[in-house]
Amino acid sequence: MGRFDNIRVVLVEPSHPGNIGGAARALKTMGLSHLAVVNPGRFPDPQAEWRAAGAQDVLEAVDVFDSVEAAIADCHWVVGTSTRQRRIPWPIRSAEAVAADLLSKPEATRIAILFGREASGLTNQELQKCHCHLQIPANPEYPSLNLAMAVQVVGYELCRQAEGVPVVSSWDRPLATTAQLEGLLEHLQATLVRSDFLDPANPGQTMTRLRRLFTRVDLDDTEVQMLRGILTHLGAFLDLQTSVPAGVQSDPEAGEPVGNPAAE
């Protein structure tokens, strides 16, 4: 297994095929090889092949997905590149800090680094699926960075810092995948609605902030299973509560209805 085989660089809806070829060349130069695209405007395309130069092998192995969700479903850690500030801030890292974070992950950790559309970047919804946001400092008077160049900057930091860095595999369980985390959040939201904690007509930013909480920590797959087990148990308790006749209370220890003295 190559040093960076667990890292997938994902270009989201690139409009120009030359940027796909340029990204492939940038990755190969820095020792990376796993490139994916989501709904590309034109691909395959001769311009992509021309810009890839000697990185035809990377280009030929490109994975094409029809959604960001599909591109990151099996990944344990997701980084989203962005230059904009959000109303609800997410953890922000430099390329140098992100490279250090990724190299410290266990070898089996599948990682995705998302690069957005040339004109508009990543959407807020897409960025909320990321564990952290990566920002590359630039001239405030002209902060525009070519897509392939942005890939090159991140690849450079990974290549530079990987020299002499030992492979780390210290955690006892694999980290939760994006799909597992999405399942947990959907389960949590449904439970919060059923318990009347969350008003589906006016949810506010509750789920966004809970999403930020869970993406900020490294939940492993066992921890996700435990949390979902707790939610399932709470759901059964809610079912019991709604099945108890009026004037009767439920004994949480016995699990059976008991008479309500006040009602008697």
Residue 242 has pLDDT above 90, yes or no: no
**Per-residue CA distances from 126 to 68, 139, 198, 209, 259 (Å):** 7, 25, 23, 15, 51
At 18, list the tokens.
Answer: 């030359």
Mapped onto helix, strand or coil, the DSSP state of residue 159 is: helix
Residue 26 has pLDDT above 50, yes or no: yes
At 58, list the tokens.
Answer: 């990377």
Terminus-to-terminus CA distance in the chain, angstroms?
71
Buried-exposed string 94-120: b where 16+ CB fall within 10 A, e elsewhere: ebeebbebbbebbeebbbbbbbbbbee
pLDDT tens digits, 58-99: 999 999 999 999 999 999 999 999 887 777 889 999 999 999
pLDDT classification of 213: cutoffs 50, 70, 90: very high
Residue 263 has pLDDT above 50, yes or no: no
- Rounded Cα distance between 160 and 33, Å, is 16
pLDDT classification of 165: cutoffs 50, 70, 90: low
Of 51-60, 82-91, 213-222, the one with minimum mean pLDDT is 82-91
* Mean pLDDT of the 51-61 span: 96
pLDDT classification of 249: cutoffs 50, 70, 90: low
- Rounded Cα distance between 237 and 245, Å, is 15
Domains of the chain: 7-162 (3.40.1280.10), 178-247 (1.10.8.590)
At residue 144, the pLDDT reads 80
At residue 253, the pLDDT reads 47
